[in-house]
């Protein structure tokens, strides 16, 4: 009886895991594809679905090619390491005293050798699709990195330093790393009409804007003309996607007001900036893909949105926003729960009108209609939110109304604050 009960429990657990996998990983890919399939009703649905997957998710399969290459090399080394371990063990058996001395003198090295196969196996099971991997290892050793230094005036150094402090990519670096980045940055001037980067090209630099204005456009699947996504002004950074994910340029950037950019080479970025930037972006990208109102965003747009997030935490009972206050900040709940209260009758206490959980959002009216806050939002549990001010949202993605219009049916069906 106990065995049967245990089997039933295991089956239930497996079913839950399968359902969670379908809900979190598969449905959000398949559902929009099926919707598009029904709209187009192609004669050859299989070819259509293959093309759709290539258009919308085509770059992901190749992102880890370098990492897999290095992993294959490490796997080939495992038998040699095991042989070495066996030799060491045999030596200890033949000469116990010598083995004891070796254990005392070289324990750190042997521990590392023992653990390496397990670590390699663990690495294979933990590959993520959201972060790229230009292998370091024996093919790109960090210790071989030699920073380049481009001479520049003190005035230019101060300007670059200010931009580094303002940029999410660089403001978490320590002083030593910031100085390396500052030294490697190159000043470049652009005139109106100059194309800074071109969609589809390989990328080997990123840019930080000192002055001027730069338009970002992209040709989406089944479109022949580019769509304008956003504009970059002083303090903004762009071009990092190709470096973060080792992928082709995701959009075209054109100068529309003459100005100056600071460029940073791939090598310096990989060794100094990449890890910190990738961790921050990875933290929010999967979360954003599960937010219903933003499900139509391109991965490129979600990445840029994640870059601008500011995180806040609240204890149970704390107010995130208060009714009738002015505000221009839009919130997403990344962890925890909250609830809204609203004054329905003058002179009476506010009453609860809505509950919020992970993935829900509030504060949108401040960006859409420039209205005072319509309700109080209060933390129900320990709460973590990420917020985005009006300027950041418009700078990165254009007016919020345009984003919401893509999901107008879901937007109008959901209650707001």
What share of the chain has pLDDT > 70, as a percent?
Answer: 65
User: Of the given ranges (115-124, 194-203, 310-319), which has the lowest mean pLDDT?
Assistant: 115-124
Q: Three-state SS string across the chain, please?
A: CHHHHHHHHHHHHHHHHHHHHHHHHHHHHHHHHHHHHHHHCCCCHHHHHHHHHHHHHCCHHHCCHHHHHHHHHHHHHHHHHHHHHHHHHHHHHHCHHHHHHHHHHHHHHHHHHHHHHHHHHHHHHCCCCCCCCCCCCCCCCHHHCCCCCCCCCHHHHHHHHHHHHHCCCCCCCCHHHHHHHHHHCEEEEECCCCEEECCCCCCCEEEEECCCEEEEEECCCCCCCCEEEEEECCCCEECHHHHHCCCCCCCEEEEEECEEEEEEEHHHHHHHHHHHHHHHHHHHHHHHHCCHHHCCCCHHHHHHHHHHCEEEEECCCCEEECCCCCCCEEEEEEECCEEEEECCCCCCCCEEEEEECCCCEECHHHHHCCCCCCCEEEECCCEEEEEEEHHHHHHHHCCHHHHHHHCHHHHHHCCCC
pLDDT score recorded for residue 240:
83
- Read off the pLDDT band of 333 (50, 70, 90): very high
Q: Which of 15-19, 140-144, 197-201, 378-382 has the lowest mean pLDDT?
A: 140-144
Binding-site members for 3',5'-cyclic AMP are 240, 249, 364, 373
In this prediction, residues 221-247 reach a mean pLDDT of 85
Q: For residue 226, is pLDDT > 60?
A: yes
- As annotated, the binding site includes 240, 249, 364, 373
The rounded mean pLDDT for the chain is: 74
pTM of the predicted structure, to 2 decimals: 0.45
pLDDT at 260: 95
Those residues with Cβ within 8 angstroms of residue 396's Cβ, 6 or more apart along the chain or in another chain = 230, 301, 304, 305, 307, 308
Band the pLDDT of 273: cuts 50, 70, 90: confident
The whole-number average pLDDT for the span 205-209 is 93
Residue range 360-373: mean pLDDT, rounded: 78
Q: Span 379-395, mean pLDDT?
A: 83
Comparing 166-180, 183-197, 259-273, the range with the smallest average pLDDT is 166-180
For the beta sheet containing 310-314, the strands, ordered from the edge strand earlier in sequence to the opposite edge, are: 310-314, 383-389, 329-335, 361-362
- pLDDT tens-digit series, residues 109-165: 333 333 333 333 333 333 333 333 344 443 344 557 888 999 988 888 898 988 888
pLDDT tens-digit readout, 41-99? 777 788 778 877 877 765 443 434 444 445 555 555 666 666 666 666 665 455 444 44
The Cα 417–Cα 415 span in angstroms is: 7
Instruction: Identify the pLDDT of residue 396.
Output: 62
- Asked if CATH classification 1.20.890 holds for the domain at 2-58, the reply, yes or no, is yes
- What the block records as the tokens of 268 is 């310096």
Q: What is the pLDDT of residue 79?
A: 66
268-286 mean pLDDT: 79
Q: Given this model, what pLDDT does residue 60 score?
A: 44
At the fourth CATH level, the homologous superfamily of domain 309-413 is Jelly Rolls (2.60.120.10)
Query: What pLDDT does residue 82 have?
Result: 64
Between 126 and 381, residue with greater pLDDT: 381
Tell me what pLDDT residue 196 has: 96
CATH class of the structural domain 154-280: mainly beta
For the segment 301-312, the average pLDDT, to the nearest whole number, is: 77
pLDDT in tens, 59-68: 443 434 444 4
Q: Which of 404, 130, 168 is nearest to 291 (CA)?
A: 404
pLDDT interval class at 192 (50, 70, 90): very high
Q: In which order are the strands placed within the sheet that holds 237-238?
A: 186-190, 259-265, 205-209, 237-238
Rounded to the nearest 10°, the torsion over CA 257, 192, 226, 387 is -20
Residue 305: which of 330, 328, 288, 286 has the closest Cα? 288
């Amino acid at each position: 009886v106990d065995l049967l009960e245990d089997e039933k429990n295991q089956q239930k657990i497996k079913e839950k895991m399968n359902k969670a996998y379908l809900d979190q990983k598969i449905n959000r890919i398949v559902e929009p594809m099926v919707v598009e399939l029904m709209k187009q009703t192609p004669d050859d649905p299989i070819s259509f679905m293959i093309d759709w997957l290539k258009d919308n998710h085509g770059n992901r399969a190749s992102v880890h090619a370098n990492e897999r290459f290095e992993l294959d090399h490490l796997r080939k080394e495992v038998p040699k390491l095991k042989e070495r371990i066996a030799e060491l063990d045999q030596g200890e058996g033949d000469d116990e005293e010598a083995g004891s001395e070796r254990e005392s003198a070289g324990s750190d090295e042997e521990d590392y050798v023992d653990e390496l196969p397990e670590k390699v196996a663990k690495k294979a099971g933990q590959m993520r699709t959201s972060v790229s991997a230009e292998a370091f290892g024996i093919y790109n050793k960090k210790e071989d990195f030699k920073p380049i230094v481009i001479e520049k005036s003190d005035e230019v150094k101060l300007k670059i330093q200010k931009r580094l402090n303002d940029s999410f990519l660089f403001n978490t670096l320590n002083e030593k790393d910031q100085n390396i980045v500052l030294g490697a940055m190159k000043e470049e001037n652009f005139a109106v009409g100059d194309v800074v980067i071109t969609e589809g090209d390989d990328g080997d630099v990123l840019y930080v804007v000192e002055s001027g204005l730069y338009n970002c456009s992209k040709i989406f699947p089944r479109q022949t003309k580019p769509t304008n996504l956003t504009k970059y002004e002083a303090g903004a950074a762009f071009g990092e996607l190709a470096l973060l994910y080792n992928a082709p340029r995701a959009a075209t950037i054109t100068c529309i007001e003459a100005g100056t950019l600071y460029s940073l080479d791939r090598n310096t970025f990989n060794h100094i900036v990449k890890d910190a930037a990738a961790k921050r972006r990875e933290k929010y990208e999967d979360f954003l893909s599960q937010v219903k109102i933003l499900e139509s965003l391109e991965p490129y747009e979600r990445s840029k949105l994640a870059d601008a997030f500011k995180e806040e935490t609240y204890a149970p009972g704390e107010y995130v926003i208060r009714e009738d206050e002015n505000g221009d900040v839009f919130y997403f709940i990344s962890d925890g729960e909250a609830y809204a209260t609203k004054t329905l009758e003058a002179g009476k206490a506010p009453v609860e009108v809505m509950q919020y959980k992970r993935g829900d959002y509030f504060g949108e009216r401040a960006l859409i209609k420039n209205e005072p806050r319509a309700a109080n939002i209060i933390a129900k549990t320990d709460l973590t939110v990420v917020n985005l001010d009006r300027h950041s949202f418009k700078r990165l993605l254009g007016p919020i109304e345009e984003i919401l219009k893509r999901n107008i049916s879901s937007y109008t069906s959901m209650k707001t604050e």
